[in-house]
Structure 1
Amino acid sequence: MEYIIKINWDNEAGVWIATSDDIRGLVLESGSIDALMERVRYAVPDLLQENNQIPHNQTTLHFCAEKSERMYA
């Protein structure tokens, strides 16, 4: 099974936030994108089990990160 994990930068809070339309309840944040991805890897199996979405074979996580910045010239 494949799941898309959206990672966005929250400029006001200064953290990366991970969410997913595929995994109910997935909302995590961290100041480091690498640390956030690691947290997601640990949280997903528990969330899938809680949501009765237990995969029958391997699980693939697609991380899609986005960060926007304003620049003034």
Structure 2
Amino acid sequence: MSDSVYHVAAEWDAEAGVWTSSSNIPGLVVEAASLTEFVDLVSALAPELLSENLGLKGKVPLDIRAHGTIELAVA
């Protein structure tokens, strides 16, 4: 297990209509139309990048945070 905590932030880009990433995992760049898809992509890509780029193995903590503003139609 790694002693470091890795972070991924999902930011909503309203103009493009996608969630985009910023992260301290080298090489991780994610863009997705839904937050569920975003998390699925991070879950698929991050382990490979942590292994290949940082030589990590075993369990690694990953903090995922999302921030965005949406407009709601209120009747």
Deviation at 1:69, TM superposition (A): 5.3
TM-score, structure 2 as length reference: 0.77
CA distance in 2, matches of 1:60, 1:35: 20
CA distance in 2, matches of 1:59, 1:3: 8
TM-score, structure 1 as length reference: 0.79
SS in 1 for 2:9: strand
SS in 2 for 1:12: coil
Change beyond 3 A, Cα 1:32–1:69: closer
Query: Is 1:4 matched with 2:7?
Result: yes
Which has more strand, going by share of residues? 1
Give unmatched runs, 5+ long, in structure 2.
none
Give every structure 1 segment of 4 or more consecutive aligned residues whose post-TM-superposition deviation is greater than 6 Å: none
How many residue pairs align between the two structures? 68
Q: 16, 19, 36: which one pairs with 1:16? A: 19
Give unmatched runs, 5+ long, in structure 1.
none
SS in 2 for 1:46: helix
For 1:14, give the aligned amino acid: G
CA distance in 1, matches of 2:28, 2:65: 14
Q: Indicate the percent of aligned positions where both proteins have the same amino acid.
A: 34
